[in-house]
Structure formats: structure tokens, C-alpha cells
């Protein structure tokens, strides 16, 4: 399963030319598209599909499909899913031509209404039939929208599950957690849009952006096609000293992650770390160690690292997985499910995941020279270069043999760290910027050089993770 | 109308001000007449930071105690704490002049004075000079050298000192309420009087009183105070840690700590959460129990580790036959005794004050250890008094009486 990339000088071929299309269905769907576009999404084609012409004209997508031109005559579906479905069936050919040749089709819709609930399952089905990986991202209505809408949404969700590869379900009720109850209703609704657009962006980035350790289409397929079609998604971005930790915490706080609870049952988890060239081995170590505490022994973690010059000093962590019970499954050491694309993307960070040890192996042309660096030295911030062999401190040990990486700063896709073993097993706590809280103004208590007013878990964490 | 047999202990704590009024009965037992309580404000880490506010709190507690005990309080034994309090052990030596061989009270006083003669920082003053052991002409294990023959008297003392002005602040606070301070006692000694009996002291014991703002500890070895200290970390820090770690307001963190506080790790099943309820009772955020416990665990473990390091530095850990006694409000955290056992490698237990007569059952609770210890201290001092012949010997007697036993 471990694929070693022994090819040299194949940088450019590495860039995937995957065709990704995002289809927003119904009013809510086109809102999501608008949001995604606002946030900036490249190399992705956007399509709006709606029965309501007014809403369609307002959309910013470059391609628009009017569903049920004869059936609804440019009006909405009036909250009737059957009408929505009929309208989509009428525009069958148009949809088919749009999804043809795509590798991934994201279908975004707000369930509960007519067009979204009715047409989304149908469009997903067509996309899947066309050979694409159909990912459906839907929002469930607020409970207060009434039982009828909720029931329609639930029924539609069931249909979507049957007809797509994966569903990412955003419950608006949970979205309320993202916003304060006092905030405007507009913000509450757009919270879901933001999260969905983040998900799309993260998956698109995963596929399209150069990675130091790349994750490919097949990885996503294996993760999403393997579950019970309920996707988990988390995205976090942070800046500052503890950015690695902060970003991970934020990603786990995503309402879709249910605070990481769902991760415990996931079979495959993709984690992608993005940052500019100053991402350190230590930071990768922190993210992986902490993430390991959230997953079970059976979980296969797939790590990707992407170097993106535009990230500046920020670092982002995306987690993608699907829920499914792994309890009755053996340790996942066999090949990916048959559904996967022919393996042609390398390096494939598919690894026999045993227990909570992630093994990532990649090789580069230059042999390691075997020097040993003191972890303290090489884990200095902004020091990515040449971790020849490093043992991370305390309970985590990261062994890495890497080529000299002058090229890292140019974000060269071919630039890879070399065989790595990350043994992560550490009880670590979430923490934020060092703070003394209510003792900010009182006389500090310093014993043995430690400021005891700073929470112990913060200090110990800093000690265990970074030094 | 202070009666001679009424003792009042006043503890100005970080979370609460507690006043215990007790009466000494003819059979030399104490009876609690009443306990006054008031939540405290203006106190941080065991020290006054807002004089007027703190004074009001003390006043409230005193009034409460007066009402409950039906005693007009005029004199209190004041408990003192704070990170500025330090201690060390020192030996005093006195050589008897030619022609005199019997050790008298003056010699005992001289040896004490001699031991205290160490250069302390200008702003510090000595709070306690506690006798540990006497040696007469090099002979070990002399319990009371008074009347013995000898040429050289030596004595080991445990000396506790602190910053004068800070101690005076507390005294002034009491004084402004028209009360006299009979004596100033550091909290850890007072607590030890409440939770340790003679046997424990003899076997060797470590008492840790984790209160709101400070953790006070005292080590008894062979019946004598060997070591004491104050670490300005307490329950408030746990609350603060929770508030920062879980991003919840302090008041909520405090409530959560009291209701759910647990130091046990690995006990929560994965994904177990604590639901935060808002004022109206609706379920709000959820907090992972393991995270919650871990924050508390880290802090409490650190407190224990600091104490353990200090006790170990003086090589006293091996002499603690009776083990570790954890008391104070924060000892209510679940599983704290197991954590103490683990850190110290000694049998540990949570202790409440030893039983006294009176309306005690409600006060046999770890958070009253210090306040009750103060009246026990006062009582022990008092018991020695009738035998005293002069003011000097009185001081001697009372200190030896308390800290030898």
C-alpha cells in the first residue's frame, strides 16, 4: 500500500487537472454559491440550478440552469418537493451535459423547500451516473421552520444519501452555535453558507493545490465513499505562536465535527495542513498528535501538507471524514475500496495504519545524510529545512529523514519530506494564547521560574509540545 | 463582655470570611457556640487587595457570628496567609555562665532569641518561632530542659516570617472593626491543630490546606513542625484555568467546578460531556468531561508537585508516617486524595476538623479546618496560661505546648 515516489523531476505533472463543479440547487443553494465565490474559489466551475428565474438572474454563477421551464414557468416550486423533482426531470438533459466529464460534483442545497429538496437528489444521482464523485452539501431547516419542512428535508436527505457518494449535512440549529442568538437572522443563515463554502474550498484546495505531502482524489474517494454517506468536516485557520494547535481546535469546533465526537467512529480521516513555507515539523507533529487523541485505534489518518505562499503566517487545518461504524471492521490495512480511482496519483499517503501510529513515507532523490539534529534546534519556528533526524520531545517522537530542502520556500510541489514516522500519543489540552485571566493584575506567583497564574495545562502543554 | 473562656478564630479567606466562636468548658474541651460566614471580596491569594471591601466582609462575618453564638466578640485569633510567608529552621545556642548549671526560663528565652537572630530582609518580621528540639550539652531528645543541669543549651526552631506591612493590613482590618487581635497565627498551623491529633504529629504528617487563594502546608515530624509554606495558588486558579480553557465566564466556571469538579483522568467515557445550562435552565454548550477534568487535574497535580518538591528538598517525605492530609475548600474536588497519593507516594486522605462539641456537624467540613483550627490553637494557648508565672514563660509554654504535641 505504501507508494513510494521514485520519480524525479516530475513536478509539473503532479498538478491535477481535476474538473470540479459546484451546483447550487434552489434559493439556498445559490446563496451558498455566492458565498463560495465571495470567499474566492479557483479552478472550480459554478452552476446554479433553480426553478425561480428571479433568483437565478441574481446569482453570480457563470452557468445557470432553469429547471422546469415549462412546468413552473419561471416561478418557484412553492415548497413542493415533487414539483421540484418534476422540474429537474424536465431539465434532465441540461443537467446531464453540465455534470458530464466532471470528477467531482458538489451539489449544494437547502433542504425543506421545494426545489432544493426535490431536485438535489436527482442532480446528485445524475452526477453519480456520469461517473463523478457526487458530494452533496445540504442545510437542514431550523426546527422552528415547522414540522412539515423538517419532514420534507428528512425525506429528501434520505433520498440524497441513497443517490450520492457523500452527504455533508449542516443542521441550521447547530449553526446557531456559530452565531449568538442575538445576532441577526441573516447572519444565522449565512453561517451555514460560510461553513459549506469552507468545505468546498477545502476539498477543492486539497485536490488542486500543490502539496508537500499530497492527498489526491483517490484519498477523498476512499474516505467519503467508505462511510455511511455522512461526511464530517472541519476547517480551522489560525495565526500566531500556537497556530498549529489553534487551527486544529478550530477545525474540531466546527459544528459538523460535533466537537470531535464523531471522529472517534470514523474509519478514514483526511487531514490537510496548509501553510506557507514556514510550517515546521513541530507544528505538523502537534496537529497530528492532538488529532490522534480524537480518533480510535482503527482509524486511518491520511495526512497532507500543502505549501501555499498566500497563506502568510497563517496555518490551516482541514479535516475530512465520514462517519461510519468502524467497530466491526478489521484494522484497515487492506487496499482502498474498489470504488477508488485507478491509482495514478502519487505520492499516495496510504499507509498501513496500525494502532495510532501514522506512517508516512515519501522518498526523494537525495539520500539522507544521517545527521542528528537536536529537536530544540530544528523545531524553531520558521525552520523547515532539513530535519535530518529528529526526535520530538516528551511523548511524541517524530523521526524524519529528509532531503535538504532549499526549495521549500518556492513551494515546489515536488518538494517532499522523506520517510517519516510520527508516533503520536500524548494527552494534550486545547489552549490559546498564554493568559493569566483574573490574575492579570495581581501580584504574580512565580515558583521555580514558572508563572503559576498561567493555567497549568497551558504551561505544560507548551512544554510538552513545542520544546 | 469578653468572657475568659470564649475564643474566637477569624479567618479572612479568599473565598469566605469565617468566624468561629467557641467556649472552653471545665473539662478542657471546646464547644462551638456559633460560626459566622460571609463571602469575601477584596481578597486575592489570601491577602487584602481592597481594604474597605474586605473590611465590610469581615464585619458581616463577625456580625453573623455574634448573632449565631450570642456572644459579643471583642478579641480574635487571626489567621494569616499569603505567598509572602516564608519559613526556615535555625538552631539557637546558649552557654550558661560560670557557676550556674541549671537551665532556667531565661535560658530558654535566650536560646529562642538567639535562633531568631538571623538577618531577615528589612520589611520582614517573624511571625512564629516554634521549638522543635532541645539539646543539652549535645544530648538529643530533651523534651523540656527546664531545671536540667547543663552547660550548653541548644534548640532547633522553625521560624516563620512574612512581610510586616501585609500582616499589619489584616490586623488593621480587625482593629478598625473595634476588635482586638489576640494573636496572629499562620493558617497552616491553625489547620494542623484542627485536623491532626497527637499521634499524627508524632508519626509525621503533611497537611495541605488548599483554599481559595492559597495552598498552605505544614509538615510535622516526630511531633514537631519541621516545615511550612504557603503557595499562592488555590481554588481560584482552578476556576481561572477553567474559565480560560473552556472559555466560559468565571462565575460559571466556579459553579461548574463546585458541582462537577473532578481530578480523575481517564474516568470519563469518550465523548462524555457536561452540558452548560444558562440561567433559564436551557441546555447550552457542552464541554467534554475529560478536558474539564484534565484542566483541574493539571492544576491540582502541580500544586501537589510543588509541595512535594519542597518537602522532598528537606528530605521530609520519608518521615511522614501518618501520610498526607488534604483539607480546605478545594479538597472537595473528587478524587483529590488519590491524586495526592499518587504524587506523594503516601497514603492520603481528605480530612475535616476533628470533632468538637456544640453545633459542629455542619462545620465538620474541610472548608472550616482553618477557622476551627484557630480556636483550637487559642484553646491550647489558654490551657497553658494558668500555669504560667510570667509573661515570658507564658509565651514559651504556650508555644512549646502546641507545637511539641
ipTM: 0.78
Mean pLDDT of B34-41: 91
Query: Do the Cβ atoms of A349 and A213 come closer than 8 Å?
Result: yes
Q: How confident is the model at residue A450 (pLDDT cuts 50, 70, 90)?
A: confident
**Range with lowest mean pLDDT among A20-29, B103-112, B151-160:** A20-29
CB contact under 8 A, A264 and B250: no
Chain A residue whose CA is closest to B238 = A455
Chain A interface includes B359 (CB < 8 A): no
Chain A interface includes B196 (CB < 8 A): no
Residues 6+ apart with CB under 8 A from B155: B91, B92, B108, B111, B112, B115, B131, B132, B133, B134, B135
- Neighbour tally for A102: CB within 10 Å: 21
CA distances for B157 relative to A246, B40, B84, B132, B164, angstroms: 52, 34, 20, 5, 20
Chain A interface includes B166 (CB < 8 A): no
CB contact under 8 A, A452 and B265: no
Whether the per-residue pLDDT at B245 is higher than 80: the answer is yes
Q: Using CA atoms, how far apart are residues A287 and A293, in angstroms rounded to an integer?
A: 10
Contacts of B45 in chain A (CB under 8 A): 442-443, 445
CB contact under 8 A, A453 and B240: yes
pLDDT at position B163:
92
> Which residues are registered as beta bridge partners of B387?
none
Q: Read off the C-alpha cell for A259.
A: 466537537
Of residues A364 and A227, the one with the higher pLDDT is A227
pLDDT at position A53:
77
pLDDT at position A417:
43
Cα-Cα-Cα-Cα dihedral sign, residues A142, A143, A145, A147: positive
Contacts of B285 in chain A (CB under 8 A): 177
Chain B residue whose CA is closest to A178 = B285
Residue B118, Cβ density class (10 Å: 0-12 exposed, 13-18 middle, ≥19 buried): exposed
Chain B nearest-CA distance from A427, in A, is 9
pTM of the prediction?
Answer: 0.52
Of residues A334 and B312, the one with the higher pLDDT is B312
Whether the per-residue pLDDT at A361 is higher than 70: the answer is no
Whether the per-residue pLDDT at A111 is higher than 60: the answer is yes
Angle at B286 between CA A245 and CA A173, to 5 degrees: 100
Range among A138-147, B6-15, B143-152 with highest mean pLDDT value? B6-15
Chain A interface includes B302 (CB < 8 A): yes
Chain B nearest-CA distance from A438, in A, is 7
Residue A20, Cβ density class (10 Å: 0-12 exposed, 13-18 middle, ≥19 buried): buried
Whether the per-residue pLDDT at B35 is higher than 60: the answer is yes
Whether the per-residue pLDDT at A421 is higher than 70: the answer is no
Query: Do the Cβ atoms of A212 and A294 come closer than 8 Å?
Result: no
Contacts of B309 in chain A (CB under 8 A): 448
CB contact under 8 A, A452 and B273: no
Query: Do the strands B348-350 and B323-327 form a parallel or antiparallel pair, or are they unpaired?
Result: parallel
Cβ-nearest to A427 among B45, B240, B294: B294
Chain A interface includes B241 (CB < 8 A): yes
Chain B residue whose CA is closest to A260 = B271
CB contact under 8 A, A443 and B83: yes
Of residues A335 and B192, the one with the higher pLDDT is B192
Cβ-nearest to B241 among A264, A443, A455: A455
- Which of B370, B372, B376 has the alpha carbon at shortest distance from B402? B376
Give the strand order in the sheet containing A166-171. Answer: A63-66, A44-50, A20-25, A104-110, A133-140, A166-171, A230-238, A315-323, A268-275, A300-307, A211-213
CB contact under 8 A, A259 and B302: no
**Range with lowest mean pLDDT among A140-149, A171-180, B54-63, B164-173:** A171-180
Cβ-nearest to B241 among A259, A448, A456: A456
Whether the per-residue pLDDT at A34 is higher than 50: the answer is yes
Chain A interface includes B44 (CB < 8 A): yes
Chain B nearest-CA distance from A2, in A, is 31
Query: Do the Cβ atoms of A236 and A275 come closer than 8 Å?
Result: no
In chain A, the percentage of residues whose pLDDT exceeds 90 is: 0
pLDDT at position A401:
40
- Which of A40, A38, A50, A46 has the alpha carbon at shortest distance from A20? A46
CA distances for A137 relative to A96, A173, A293, B287, angstroms: 19, 16, 27, 27
CA distances for A50 relative to A60, A66, A139, A460, B152, angstroms: 13, 5, 16, 54, 105
What one-character-per-residue DSSP string does B11-35 give? EE-SSEEEEEEEEE-TTS-EEEEEE
Chain A nearest-CA distance from B36, in A, is 28
Amino acid at each position: 500500500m505504501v507508494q513510494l515516489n521514485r520519480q524525479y523531476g516530475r513536478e509539473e505533472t503532479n498538478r491535477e487537472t481535476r474538473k470540479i463543479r459546484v451546483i447550487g440547487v434552489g434559493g439556498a443553494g445559490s446563496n451558498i454559491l455566492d458565498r463560495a465565490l465571495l470567499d474566492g474559489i479557483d479552478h472550480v466551475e459554478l452552476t446554479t440550478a433553480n426553478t425561480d428565474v428571479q433568483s437565478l438572474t441574481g446569482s453570480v454563477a457563470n452557468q445557470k440552469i432553469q429547471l422546469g421551464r415549462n412546468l413552473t414557468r419561471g416561478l418557484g416550486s412553492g415548497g413542493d418537493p415533487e414539483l421540484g423533482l418534476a422540474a429537474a426531470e424536465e431539465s434532465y438533459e441540461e443537467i446531464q451535459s453540465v455534470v458530464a466529464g466532471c470528477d467531482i460534483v458538489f451539489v449544494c442545497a437547502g433542504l425543506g423547500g421545494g426545489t432544493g429538496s426535490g431536485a438535489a437528489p436527482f442532480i446528485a444521482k445524475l452526477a453519480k451516473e456520469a461517473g463523478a464523485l457526487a458530494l452533496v452539501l445540504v442545510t437542514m431547516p431550523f426546527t422552528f421552520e415547522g414540522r412539515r419542512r423538517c419532514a420534507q428535508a428528512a425525506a429528501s436527505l434520505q433520498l440524497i444519501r441513497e443517490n450520492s457518494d457523500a452527504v455533508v449535512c449542516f443542521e441550521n440549529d447547530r449553526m446557531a452555535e456559530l452565531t449568538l442568538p442575538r445576532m441577526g437572522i441573516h447572519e444565522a443563515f449565512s453561517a451555514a453558507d460560510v461553513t459549506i463554502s469552507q468545505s468546498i474550498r477545502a476539498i477543492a484546495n486539497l485536490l488542486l493545490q500543490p502539496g508537500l505531502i499530497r492527498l489526491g482524489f483517490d484519498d477523498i474517494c476512499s474516505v467519503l465513499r467508505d462511510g455511511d454517506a455522512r461526511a464530517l468536516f472541519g476547517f480551522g485557520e489560525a495565526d500566531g505562536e500556537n497556530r498549529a494547535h489553534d487551527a486544529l481546535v478550530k477545525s474540531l469546533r466546527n459544528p459538523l465535527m460535533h466537537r470531535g465526537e464523531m471522529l472517534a467512529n470514523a474509519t478514514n480521516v483526511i487531514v490537510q495542513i496548509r501553510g506557507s513555507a514556514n510550517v515546521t515539523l513541530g507544528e505538523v507533529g502537534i496537529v497530528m498528535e492532538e488529532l490522534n487523541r480524537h480518533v480510535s485505534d482503527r482509524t486511518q489518518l491520511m495526512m497532507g501538507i500543502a505549501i501555499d505562499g498566500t497563506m502568510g503566517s497563517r496555518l490551516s487545518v482541514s479535516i475530512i471524514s465520514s462517519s461510519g461504524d468502524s467497530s466491526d471492521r478489521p484494522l484497515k490495512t487492506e487496499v482502498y475500496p474498489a470504488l477508488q480511482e485507478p491509482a495514478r496519483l502519487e505520492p499516495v499517503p496510504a499507509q498501513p495504519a496500525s494502532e495510532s501510529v501514522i506512517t508516512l513515507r515519501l522518498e526523494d532523490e537525495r539520500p539522507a545524510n544521517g545527521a542528528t539534529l537536536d529537536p530544540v534546534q530544528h523545531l524553531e519556528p520558521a525552520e523547515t529545512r532539513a530535519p535530518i533526524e529528529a526526535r520530538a520531545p516528551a511523548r511524541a517522537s517524530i523521526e524524519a529523514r529528509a532531503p535538504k530542502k532549499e526549495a521549500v520556500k518556492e513551494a515546489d510541489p515536488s518538494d517532499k519530506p522523506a520517510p517519516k514516522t510520527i508516533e503520536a500519543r500524548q494527552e494534550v489540552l486545547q489552549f490559546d494564547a498564554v493568559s493569566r485571566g483574573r490574575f492579570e493584575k495581581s501580584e504574580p506567583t512565580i515558583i521555580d521560574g514558572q508563572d503559576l497564574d498561567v493555567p497549568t495545562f497551558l504551561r505544560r502543554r507548551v512544554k510538552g509540545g513545542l520544546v | 463582655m469578653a468572657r475568659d473562656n470564649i475564643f474566637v478564630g477569624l479567618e479572612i479567606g479568599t473565598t469566605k470570611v469565617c468566624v468561629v466562636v467557641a467556649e472552653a468548658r471545665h473539662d478542657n474541651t471546646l464547644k462551638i457556640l456559633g460560626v459566622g460566614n460571609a463571602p469575601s471580596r477584596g481578597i486575592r491569594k489570601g491577602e487584602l487587595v481592597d481594604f474597605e471591601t474586605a473590611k465590610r466582609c469581615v464585619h458581616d462575618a463577625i456580625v453573623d457570628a455574634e448573632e449565631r453564638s450570642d456572644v459579643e466578640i471583642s478579641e480574635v485569633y487571626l489567621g494569616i496567609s499569603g505567598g509572602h510567608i516564608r519559613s526556615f529552621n535555625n538552631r539557637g545556642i546558649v552557654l550558661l555562665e560560670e557557676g550556674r548549671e541549671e537551665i532556667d526560663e531565661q535560658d530558654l528565652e535566650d536560646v529562642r532569641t538567639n535562633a531568631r537572630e538571623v538577618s531577615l530582609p528589612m520589611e520582614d518580621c517573624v511571625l512564629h518561632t516554634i521549638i522543635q528540639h532541645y539539646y543539652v550539652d549535645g544530648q538529643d531528645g530533651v523534651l523540656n530542659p527546664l531545671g536540667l543541669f547543663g552547660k550548653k543549651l541548644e534548640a532547633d526552631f522553625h521560624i516563620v516570617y512574612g512581610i510586616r506591612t501585609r500582616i499589619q493590613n489584616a490586623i488593621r482590618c480587625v482593629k478598625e472593626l473595634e476588635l482586638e487581635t489576640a494573636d496572629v497565627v499562620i493558617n497552616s498551623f491553625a489547620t494542623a491543630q484542627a485536623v491532626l491529633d497527637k499521634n499524627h504529629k508524632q508519626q509525621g504528617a503533611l497537611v495541605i490546606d488548599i483554599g481559595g487563594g492559597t495552598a498552605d502546608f505544614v509538615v510535622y515530624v516526630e511531633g514537631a513542625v519541621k516545615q511550612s509554606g504557603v503557595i499562592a495558588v488555590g481554588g481560584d486558579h482552578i476556576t481561572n484555568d477553567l474559565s480560560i480553557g473552556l472559555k466560559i465566564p468565571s462565575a460559571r466556571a466556579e459553579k461548574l467546578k463546585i458541582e462537577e469538579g473532578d481530578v480523575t483522568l481517564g474516568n470519563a467515557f469518550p465523548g462524555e460531556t457536561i452540558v452548560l445550562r444558562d440561567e433559564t435552565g436551557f441546555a447550552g454548550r457542552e464541554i467534554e468531561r475529560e478536558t474539564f477534568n484534565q484542566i483541574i487535574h493539571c492544576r491540582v497535580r502541580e500544586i501537589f508537585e510543588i509541595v512535594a518538591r519542597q518537602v522532598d528538598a528537606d528530605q521530609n517525605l520519608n518521615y511522614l508516617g501518618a501520610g498526607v492530609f488534604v483539607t480546605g475548600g478545594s479538597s472537595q474536588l473528587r478524587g483529590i486524595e488519590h491524586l495526592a497519593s499518587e504524587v506523594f507516594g503516601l497514603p492520603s486522605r481528605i480530612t475535616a476538623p476533628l470533632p468538637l462539641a456544640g453545633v459542629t456537624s455542619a462545620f465538620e467540613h474541610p472548608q472550616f479546618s482553618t477557622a476551627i483550627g484557630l480556636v483550637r490553637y487559642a484553646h491550647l494557648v489558654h490551657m497553658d496560661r494558668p500555669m504560667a508565672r510570667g509573661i515570658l514563660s507564658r509565651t514559651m509554654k504556650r508555644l512549646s505546648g502546641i507545637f511539641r504535641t
